[in-house]
Structure 1
Amino acid sequence: MSTSRKTAVVTGASSGIGAVYADRLAARGYDLILVARRADRLAALSGKLSETHGAKVQVLVADLEKETDVARVEAVLANDASVQVLVNNAGFARLRPLAQSSLNDSSSQVALNVTSLTRLTHAVLPGFLSRNDGVIINIASVLAVHSLPVSSVYSGTKAYVLAFTRGLQDELANTGVKVQVVLPASTATEIWSEGVSGVPLSALRPETVMSAENMVDAALVGLDNGEAVTWPSVADESLWTKYDAARSALFAATQTGTPAPRYQKA
């Protein structure tokens, strides 16, 4: 099936990072499928993007923590051959010590940040491979490589996103399907102002907080430049190069059947 325009699917699209991705992709000529829980926000954004960019916008009101809602989005991704881009942006944080957290809060983070992202990627990938074309953008976090006393679950979910994406990149290296993982630091979105995360925006040093617009624009430059891993706020690119090289060296050092000398009895 050929279409004159391509479609980008953005999850968590009703505000913040997702809404900016929707705007920027519409400006690049994509039609859109916007996925989020808040119907009123999606309707307002849909109208704005249609008027501003002339994009055809479809709205999918869905809570990606729920099985039935994930299944509805999966069906669209699996069956709409116009879909060329998937932005797995939906996610949230509950930043508090595990002992002070509810199991529901922890399970919800895993369901949204890990399970739904994996399922939607599964759904879209066969079509991308059959067309040998497509882009998957997974939004992780700098906390994928660093855990705080309040971020054990959140950091764990974002570490999964990073590891999952890196493995997928290797799987797809010889295809026309591109996969990017983006690791933002603190970004000004409604999650902070609503107190959803458990940490108010006012608790962060202003100079450490990036606007959603700057974050997405930087990430898209990284995508255009062919980056597999994008750190929007990191100026010294060599830091990631050294980190990744050390990771590879550490893994190589594990490839022996002999216990390290420090673990051997005298």
Structure 2
Amino acid sequence: MPAITRALVTGASAGIGESFARQLAAQGAALVLVARRTDRLDALAARLREGHGIEVETLAADLSTPEGVQATADRLAADPAIDLLVNNAGYAARGRVGQLDAEALDHMLRVNVLALARLSHAAMGAMTPRGHGAVVNVASGTVFMQFPGNAGYGASKNFVMGFTRNMQVEAQGTGIQVQLLIPGVIATDFHAVAGNSLSNFPPERVMQADELVAASLRALEMREPVCIPSLPDIRDWEAYVAAEARVAAGASRDRAADRYGLPR
């Protein structure tokens, strides 16, 4: 894609979002950085202005609230120079379905699902008439896994995957790129916030945030719609999509399958 003029990054105060901010700044892009923690946002913005001589705006917004989402959506809609949205804000509230704190689940879904959908809506509405721009939606490798305690978080990231893949179909011919970014285990404080520890993972499974983000930005240049940075062979993803298509073809027929032995 063409050089990025201005990017809006959510969850920009730490981890993957901070890495996106730093790497985009190094490319000369102006930035709008969104997160809850004003002190960390302001400190990052000051470093990036000083280090790269770019324009950096901060927007303190809690994306679990309607007000925070609306303020961010309004900012996207108001600035025709924003040609990249990185929907990175998100976190994991884990626990078994019958034991997970219900309010924690609601709060996570508001950030991971509702905010991402609303900001994608705002970005696509603003970018489509201009005929250019890009959206990166951050999912998770747990979309391919099922294990106790992952129902809420895993499902929220399955929403991101499904929503983004449908966005990609809608974006065809508009000049808008939509990337589905699927990280594995990334060395950030995400895991501590979720009550886990990076020490529980073998080192060979843990990627640095800068490596992930560099791969994502390179995938934008290559116009790859799905970026799974550590996947050795993209044909594995293609086989996944092909298997999905075979299931879809059989999912709606006029009769139940023969294995159920129903009378004909």
State TM-score, norm by structure 2. Answer: 0.95
1:220 aligns with 217
Structure 1 residue 95, shift from structure 2 partner: 2.5
2:198 aligns with 201
Seq. identity, % = 38
Structure 1, unaligned stretches of length 5 or more?
none
Residue identity opposite 2:245 in structure 1: S
2:100 aligns with 101
1:257 aligns with 254
Contact 2:16/2:213 (<8 A) preserved: yes
Whole-Å Cα distance in 2 between the matches of residues 148 and 68 of structure 1?
34
Structure 2, unaligned stretches of length 5 or more?
none
Greater shift in the superposed pair: 200-209 or 135-144: 200-209
Are residue 116 (structure 1) and residue 115 (structure 2) matched? Answer: yes
**Map 1:68-83 → 2, pairs under 5 A:** 68-83=67-82
2:234 aligns with 237
1:36 aligns with 35
**Map 1:1-266 → 2, pairs under 5 A:** 6-192=5-191, 195-266=192-263
Q: Secondary structure at the match of 1:199?
A: coil
Moved over 6 A (4+): none
Contact 1:11/1:89 (<8 A) preserved: yes
Whole-Å Cα distance in 2 between the matches of residues 147 and 36 of structure 1?
30
Q: Give a deviation string over 1:161-186, Cα, whole Å, max 9, x none.
A: 00000001001111101100100001
Structure 1 residue 257, shift from structure 2 partner: 1.4
Contact 1:95/1:199 (<8 A) preserved: no
State TM-score, norm by structure 1. Answer: 0.95
Residue identity opposite 1:156 in structure 2: A
Structure 1 residue 100, shift from structure 2 partner: 2.5
Residue identity opposite 1:48 in structure 2: R
How many residues are aligned here? 261
Contact 1:96/1:198 (<8 A) preserved: no
Structure 1 residue 202, shift from structure 2 partner: 1.7
Structure 1 residue 205, shift from structure 2 partner: 1.7
